[in-house]
Amino acid sequence: MLAFAPLHGAVSAAGTALSWLTDLLAPLADGTATAAAIVLLTIAVRLLISPLTVAQVRGERRRAALAPQVRDLQQRYADDPATLQREVFTLYREAGANPITGCLPVLLQAPFLLVLYRLFSTNEGGTGLLDERLAGVPLGHHLSDGLAGAAGPLFGVLLAVLLVVAWWSSRRARRASAAVGTVAGTPAEGPGAATLGRLLPLLPFATVLVALVLPLAAVIYLVTTSVWSAVEQAVLRRPQAVPSPADR
């Protein structure tokens, strides 16, 4: 299975790191040490990619600030969609407002989620983590394995948190979309931009659907990263004070 050699190496490394962190936290967290280790590793991953998140928010603000110029280009090249698209992309590039930057934080988290899935769905890491539990529920437990005992309440709480965060994130996405609605969905952003604009507010709820098929360990990761994203977005997207003429 040479094609999966890099993934196997990543799973083994993650398993070793989790085992080490679990042993470190055991005197303090006792039976929740492995779950706490997953939370801390998730936070570490988010801190590593936080510069990209900051760049994403700055890019969105720059694109919003460029909206009047984009509208001028739309009027100028209304009968020439190809030129309009080229001119808008050039405008974004010169202003450092690359739309692709916004996808990087999500894409970079995907490998970590895949590694957790493999680590707690198989014994690939060889670390014995499949025997670890939270509130008596194995961290490799799936919803399809049943909701007996503490599994039902535990998954219920985690899924409820994901739903609340998804609802909040969806509201924020709708407000952001409305703020730049005069630009979104134009030929400058491609023929599918209008459809994408309607789908974006629904994407946070995809996290809840994904959690339905993941082991408990990966659900803990999703809850942690979702809450982190909500707090991070609230901080980074807080309204900025407009300087008074005397301060300029």
Q: Which two tokens stand for residue 15?
A: 């398993």
- Tell me the whole-structure pTM to 2 decimals: 0.78
What angle separates helix 151-179 from helix 216-236, to the nearest 10 degrees? 30
Q: What torsion do the CA atoms of 148, 38, 157, 144 make, to the nearest 10 degrees?
A: -40
Lowest mean pLDDT, pick from 96-100, 125-129, 158-162, 243-247: 243-247
- In which element (H, E) is residue 130 found? none
Residues 6 or more apart whose Cβ sits within 8 Å of residue 215: 116, 117, 120, 121, 139, 140, 141, 142
Q: Is the pLDDT of residue 136 over 60?
A: yes
Radius of gyration of the chain (CA): 22
User: Strands, DSSP E only, in 26-177?
Assistant: 133-134, 137-138
Model pLDDT, residue 115:
86
Model pLDDT, residue 87:
83
The arithmetic mean of pLDDT across residues 9-29, rounded, is 87
Distance between CA atoms of residues 102 and 176, nearest Å: 13
Which residue, 205, 219, 39, is CA-closest to 145? 219
In this structure, which amino acid lies at residue 143? L
Tell me the β-bridge partners of 138.
133
Note the pLDDT tens digit of each residue in 45-65: 999 988 888 877 777 777 778
| All structural domains of the chain with their residue ranges | 2-238
Note the pLDDT tens digit of each residue in 187-217: 444 444 555 556 667 788 889 999 999 999 9
Q: Is the pLDDT of residue 183 over 50?
A: no
- Residue pair 166/226 in contact (Cβ under 8 Å)? The answer is yes
